[in-house]
Structure 1
Amino acid sequence: MSIDTIEHYINSYGYIIIFFLLFFGIVGIPAPEESLLFLIGILIINEKLSFGYAVISALLGVFLGMLTAYGCGKFVGYPFIQKYGKYIGISTERWNKAKAKYTKNVKRTIVLGFYLPGIRQISPYFAGIAEIQFKTFFLYSLVGSLCWTIPFIVVGYYAGEYFEINPKYVPYLGLALLVIFLFSLSINYLKEKYR
């Protein structure tokens, strides 16, 4: 989906499209979440969106997406893994190891997972499957939603204030973040390998 298309949808449908794009991005349907948040900041500084409504729409989309994915994981995920896990290499032993590791770092994984594409989408499902307490998940996904959504919008806002940014170039931000993410993963992998 191009930035022109997203901008057209935002102009046509307003804040509801921000909600749906972020909601579906969290539940796993591909959407340019970081780029969208950055674009929202640019559109706010150009007075095409209201700061308050845009932030509320974005937060609700992200947070309700997390809760929905958690619910799917809790009520559908484990029976699915029991039935089909053997076909994709998830044995009971592997599942128990992964669950123990996730449970040990659950708070950090939920909050910091927002900054890692892929982890952001998998984490709420895994929390539901691993039967993490709902109140724990609720609190940390709310904190993570706030800590991830607002800074990207604010960066877009201030970048748009100080620089003339053409919205067509915003997707390159998402690409740059993906490259940084893959680069950091590669470095961590090589460090572990050479230890």
Structure 2
Amino acid sequence: MLHGWVEPFIHQYGLWGLWLDVFLEAMGAPVPGETLLVVAAGLAANGLFDIRAVVLVALIGAVMGDNLGYLIGRTFGRPVVLAKGARFGITHERLARVEHALNARGVIVVVFARFVPLLRQLNGLAAGTAGMHWLRFVIANAIGGALWVGLWSWLAYGLGAHAELLSRFWAWIHPFAWLIVPFWIAVYIVGYMILRRQKRG
């Protein structure tokens, strides 16, 4: 059973639980949004959920959470974010690291941030405190959210009952995410195109 409580949680609270978990993670809370997404998509493969609903709910939660985080960071600034976020593990060093990445690479970081722990949690808050333009953020954030939800949902749905292997595998390789993510996205796009051709044929 994945992480002990995760699968019972998604069984009990369903897609509302998935939405809340992904939403809170995107706002900066240390909760396993990615893990719940993988579990929910795996359960969808076994008929418990509609995979389209899983994708939609997770995407809405991710984009809403990041945008609320951005609004908090932009409105209240670093002092308030650090003071109130300390209980959630948001430290000066962690926030500064993400702000530095955003200032150095901007939109690219926002698009791929969801695939990297720490960046995923602090992406919106840091973009707000760093003063990133909201329109640039919201477009990049939506693209990143779609790639993140689409990739993990597709892979977990394909693995079905064995979807938990994805989380274990990702825990080992996420330090190299910046190298691996573009490859997985290419695999996802190719796989999606093949599936569409098969359906048409």
Scaled by the length of structure 2, what TM-score is found?
A: 0.71
Aligned residue for 2:154?
Answer: 154
The answer to whether the aligner puts 1:176 opposite 2:169 as a matched pair is: yes
Question: Using a 3 Å threshold, how does the CA distance of structure 1 residues 154 and 129 change in structure 2: closer, same or farther?
Answer: same
Identity %: 23
Q: Indicate the structure (1 or 2) with the bigger Cα radius of gyration.
A: 1
After superposing the two structures, state which structure 1 stretch, 34-43 or 145-154, moved more: 34-43
Aligned residue for 1:36?
Answer: 36
Aligned residue for 1:109?
Answer: 109
Quick check: 2:28–2:125 contact (8 Å CA) kept in 1?
no
Question: Using a 3 Å threshold, how does the CA distance of structure 1 residues 120 and 43 change in structure 2: closer, same or farther?
Answer: same
Question: Using a 3 Å threshold, how does the CA distance of structure 1 residues 30 and 175 change in structure 2: closer, same or farther?
Answer: farther
Shift of 1:35: 2.2
Aligned equivalents of 1:99, 1:113: Cα separation in 2:
12
Aligned equivalents of 2:137, 2:121: Cα separation in 1:
14
Aligned residue for 1:6?
Answer: 6
Question: Using a 3 Å threshold, how does the CA distance of structure 1 residues 82 and 8 change in structure 2: closer, same or farther?
Answer: closer
- In the TM superposition, 1:2-151 aligns within 5 A as 3=3, 5-80=5-80, 102-151=102-151
Quick check: 1:39–1:153 contact (8 Å CA) kept in 2?
no
Aligned equivalents of 1:183, 1:74: Cα separation in 2:
30
How many matched pairs? 170
Q: CA RMSD in A?
A: 3.1
Shift of 1:136: 0.9
Aligned equivalents of 2:99, 2:9: Cα separation in 1:
40
What do residues 115-143 of structure 1 show as CA deviations (whole Å, max 9, x unaligned)?
A: 11111112211110111111111111000
Scaled by the length of structure 1, what TM-score is found?
A: 0.73
Q: What are the ranges of 5 or more consecutive residues in structure 1 without an aligned counterpart?
A: 90-94, 186-195
Aligned residue for 1:193?
Answer: none
Question: Using a 3 Å threshold, how does the CA distance of structure 1 residues 48 and 81 change in structure 2: closer, same or farther?
Answer: closer
Shift of 1:104: 4.3
Q: What are the ranges of 5 or more consecutive residues in structure 2 without an aligned counterpart?
A: 84-90, 179-201
Question: Using a 3 Å threshold, how does the CA distance of structure 1 residues 26 and 81 change in structure 2: closer, same or farther?
Answer: closer
Question: Using a 3 Å threshold, how does the CA distance of structure 1 residues 154 and 106 change in structure 2: closer, same or farther?
Answer: same
Shift of 1:178: 2.9
Aligned equivalents of 1:148, 1:25: Cα separation in 2:
14
Residue type of the alignment partner of 1:41: A
Quick check: 1:59–1:149 contact (8 Å CA) kept in 2?
yes
Quick check: 2:18–2:33 contact (8 Å CA) kept in 1?
no
